[in-house]
Structure 1
Amino acid sequence: MIHEYEPEATRRATGEAESSRASRGWWDRNADEYQTEHGAFLGDDRFVWGPEGLDEADAALLGPASGLEGLDVLEIGAGAAQCSRWLAAQGARPVALDLSHRQLQHALRIGGGVPLVEADATALPFADGSFDLACSAYGAVPFVADPVRVMREVRRVLRPGGRWVFSVTHPVRWAFPDEPGPEGLSVAASYFDRTPYVEQDESGRAVYVEHHRTIGDRVRDVVAGGFRLVDLVEPEWPAWNTQEWGGWSPLRGHLIPGTAIFVCERD
């Protein structure tokens, strides 16, 4: 009998190239399972900022929906482009970008005619000043070794006055076990330990990488990237949401934040 090797979870240093390679491979391998498990929650044309279920239709973090018509919008880490389809339904002109070829195949499967681009967020293949808005719901930012490179690339492709809104796992969650039950409510690690979380194969090659930044680090990254932070949203867990999503759950969500959304503007 052949036993499939379970990746080893560890905390260790990892660079930009290894992180990018691991992310592309992980999402290509796991896109089918991800879309099967979470597709109903995400919808085909819904803009959800995170597991809490905060909807852009209600939050208007990119601005009023009525003001999106005719705007060029870049979605980074778009997955199957659900958010981009919602933007298109408001009259915007979205472009959905993702590192994973398999995720973009799911975008094609769902359809909707949104332009799709396969590329790394640290090297956006667009001319300066191509977009009015940029957004990312849990895409790219947590998975890159140098998030300031992403910030600077986003600033470059935005027009003056452009807004950049992105969501990530709330940094405080890194101090707690990634468990949805009571065991996920006790501090188990230092919040200040920035060592990346890595899953690696038998040869020590990273197959999944996620990078931890404190709230202060994220703010400094935004500023270093040339943006002004205008809001930091920490969604509360709504009563209607009874689902668990990995370490996110109603139990934890009612007690500690799970998502941080950074609303930034380019001067």
Structure 2
Amino acid sequence: MTHAAPHATERSVVDITDLVKIFGTRRALDGMSVSIAPGEIVALLGPNGAGKSTLIGCLLGFLLPNSGSARIFGYEAGELPPEARARMGYVPQAMNAFPSFRVGQLIDYLGTFYAVPPPPPDPALLAWANLDMAARVKSLSGGQKQRLSIVLAFRHQPDFLVLDEPVASLDPQARRDFMALLADYCAGSQRSVLISSHILSDLEKVATRALFVARGRVVHDTPMARFRESIRWIVPTAGASALPADLLDGRLPLKPLGTDTATGAILVDGWCDAMRGHLADRADIRTPDLEAAFLEITR
């Protein structure tokens, strides 16, 4: 089988354009478009049913889209040549394969599938995983299986990692240590990560970009540096009948992201402290964490 020549530029590892995936009458992906650049750690954020797992399935070639394009390293995701697929790593939500293999045997066995044998696993990662190499996979706990899955995904030092709820089975200390290992793995390199997790406090520590999805579409996309600097709640003060008009009528470069109908507060993108003079003591500025913003943006 021949493969079309890649079209990616050095600026992108992933290029998704107008991606549509339909199951029966449900559009799980409804024209989704997004790119991921080298070196980015992208947090994929969305409620259940938003399209996250479908997107991951299309990227891995497990699902074929109805229309649109999903390219990785310049190739259509469903047609990746072996040398491109060898540059990817994947951690599923749960690992249930190879139950009769011993841990060390499985690590070595999967390494034989690469044209260029991968180096031994990173000692720091093995120390974190703390697995008995002689234990059979079927005897491992859920958390131990998840650690093994992570070791296998990182074993060949991939350039692009897809992590689907990689820490859901781990205790808080193991989650914290893994996030530190992930940050170290990507630091100063061109390695990219797409990570989906409902534990947003973990993502907030490591992600360089937040991709909010709902109803099969990207509803907001922001670098984490911008999130911290410019996404704010504007909350009417007690006794204020309304927010100052110029915060809402387009005279200021603010993008409304959601409204709390109970308090009249508005979540906006584009805030800067120079705008405080427009408040006239009628509003307070509050900084949301990633979870609070997620709940409002994907409502």
Give me the TM-score of the superposition, normalised by structure 2.
0.29
Structure with greater strand percent: 2
Bigger Rg over Cα:
2
Give me the TM-score of the superposition, normalised by structure 1.
0.31
